Amino acid sequence: MMVSLLMFNEISDLEPAESIELTVVADQSFSGRSRLDQYLATHIEELSRARVQKLIDDGLIKVNGVIAKASLKLKDGDLIEITLPPPEVLEAVAENIPLQIVFEDEHMLVINKPAGMVTHPGAGVNSGTLVNAVLYHCQGSLSSIGGVVRPGIVHRLDKDTSGLIMVAKSDIAHKGLSEQLQSKQAKRTYLALLEGVAKAESGKVDAPIGRHPLKRKEMTIAKEGQRGRSAVTHYLVVEHFSKFTLVECRLETGRTHQIRVHMASLNLPVAGDIVYNRKTSGSLEARHKLGLQGQALHAARLSFIHPVTNLLLEFQAELPQDFEQLLAKLK
């Protein structure tokens, strides 16, 4: 079942005051009858199931010129018209939140982010993020490349992942750091406690990662024919425990949830990961029983060439206390 987009501007490129008209036609390869909400959520990556439902509830989706219900069964050739309202305008504001700064000069910072802190504002999260804290610390002097929501942010860490993250104060620093990440010159090494016993002492996962076709907030290994981006993770066993394995992970690429998805694909999910861990430690209750504040994943080491001084910089962040205490209990 395929769709052709007759008119579709990138949603992410909208100006704040703009709405967008999206027209979709089920082409002749469409077979069977699918519900409207399922069809749109599955075939348009930019629209989650929840967002499709909200658009339908607001009367912003028509089929063949008539406002449609979610349960409408589509037929081959049906014309679907979607009106996307202007996106909510977000702008990060400075907040006095303590930061653990590992390095700082006039061009950039390296920060040890705690688990539980979101990197930048987004849907449903407007405050308490790393960006809010950095804006206060730097008095607004940050790179503008990331825009008003992600000023200075060169790369990100998941909310429940702790460790080292780079922040650019100037555009030239931002550009230089981004280029090093893309060229793999910047090195990032993570420590992860995996649930299960690794059979190999080291390995490489080379598998593309894409958006889950049904669970739009999740990522997955992209199968043949699915949209995905190349992703490579190297891992090395640091220590074995009876039911867990501590590994060091080195990234060649930096895809969303990369380590978590790749390790789960080996049936060795990250301990305390409530999204991708289907084993015993993959719930909030189990995470708390382990004494973890987030998932057992920590960006431990970072090295790169300073984008202005050209000096090699290397940093290491000790494991957070909850992670350290869990390892002690497992020994």
Q: What is the pTM of this model?
A: 0.75
CATH code, domain carrying 296: 3.30.2350.10
Q: Does 177 share its domain with 195?
A: no
As for how many domains the chain has, the answer is 3
| Strand locations in 73-221 (E) | 79-84, 101-104, 108-113, 162-168, 187-195, 202-206, 209-211, 219-221
- Residue 94 belongs to a domain: no
- Residue 127 belongs to a domain: yes
Dump pLDDT digits (tens) for 251-272: 999 899 999 999 999 999 999 9
- Whole-number Å distance between alpha carbons of 320 and 21: 48
- Whole-number Å distance between alpha carbons of 117 and 126: 12
Any catalytic annotation for residue 160? no
Domain containing 230 equals: 187-330
- Residue 89 belongs to a domain: no
68-82 b/e (C-beta count within 10 Å ≥ 16 → b): bebebebeeebebbb
Structure tokens at 159: 């909310």
Dump pLDDT digits (tens) for 47-96: 777 778 888 988 999 999 999 998 888 888 888 888 877 655 557 889 99
Q: Does 202 share its domain with 314?
A: yes
pLDDT computed for residue 285 by the predictor: 93
Domain stops at, among 49, 84, 119: 84
DSSP string, 196-226: S--SSSEEEEE--EEE-SS-TT-EEEPPTTS
Nearest residue to 155 via CA among 113, 101, 92 = 113
- Residue 90 belongs to a domain: no
Domain stops at, among 182, 207, 227: 182
Domain stops at, among 127, 156, 182: 182
Query: Which candidate in 27, 37, 76, 158 is catalytic?
Result: 158
- Residue 96 belongs to a domain: no
